[in-house]
Structure 1
Amino acid sequence: MEKLLSILDSIGIPYAYDHFAEGESPEPPFLCYLLPGSDNFSADGKVYHKISEVRLELYTDYKDLASEQKVEDTLDAAGLFYNKTETWIDSEKLYEVLYSFDMEGM
């Protein structure tokens, strides 16, 4: 978990786990991260190697290539392989760029 928090700190964009408390959300851009599952390696009924699924959500009020580049440069520097998708959330009037990746040892 420390490695993930260090990565998030180095991006330089405000972040929270899952969501910000109501009324405490910063102005975009901001990040939310989730740990929705795992893909652990096991044998003999024991976990030998922990691997957590990470979802990192970048929220912006316009297509913000500079913020996307900050996130991607930081993930690249950390040696993480990620997939990226994007969607417009009409009810929030925000773009969400989702980065999905696995991290070991969490």
Structure 2
Amino acid sequence: MTQVDLYAALKTIGLPVAYGEFNSPAPAPPFITYQFAYSGDLMADNHNYLDISNYQVELYTTKKDPAAEKLLQDKLKELRLPYSKTGTYLESEKLWQIIFEIQLIGG
């Protein structure tokens, strides 16, 4: 799966999606952003053998929203993308931020 494939899949959830951030003004929550975090390539024989790109898919909501989280989780499961999830309240933004960390292999 590539980053383009990930974007297309996230769009099917029905929430606004952007890479990194939205141009001003941002849409009303809930919305999703995603971005490349770091590479974790498999290396062998002194070269990068397999591309492994780590991404953060971030869900922003004005209140704790289990239904929106489930939509995103179900999509990641449908795509067979294992994830880890963390969440925090961003006081300065007055938003909940739920981060799903995923890996795209070979993309």
TM > 0.5 fold call: yes
Which runs of structure 1 show a deviation greater than 3 angstroms over 4 or more consecutive aligned residues? none
Task: Tell me the distance in 1 between the aligned counterparts of 2:104 and 2:33.
Answer: 16
Q: Say which SS state the counterpart of residue 93 (structure 2) adopts.
A: coil
2 CA distance for matches of 1:6 and 1:19? 16
Show the counterpart of 2:73.
Answer: 72
In structure 2, runs of 5+ residues without a counterpart are: none
- Identity in percent: 37
Unaligned residue ranges in structure 1 (runs of 5+): none
Q: Measure, in 1, the Cα distance between the counterparts of 2:9 and 2:93.
A: 27
Counterpart mapping for 1:52-67 below 5 A: 52-67=53-68
For residues 35-79 of structure 1, what are the alpha-carbon distances to aligned partners after superposition, in whole Å with 9 as ceiling and x for unaligned? 011111122232221010010110000111111111000000001
- Number of residues paired by the alignment? 105
User: Is contact 2:33–2:58 with CA below 8 Å preserved after alignment?
Assistant: yes
Match of 2:15 in 1: 13
- Are the equivalent residues in 1 in contact too, given 2:7–2:17 (CA < 8 A)? no
Counterpart-to-counterpart distance in 1, 2:52 and 2:5: 13
CA RMSD of aligned residues (A): 1.1
CA distance in 2, matches of 1:33, 1:46: 28
Corresponding residue for residue 41 of structure 1? 42
Greater mean deviation of Cα atoms: 3-12 or 27-36: 3-12
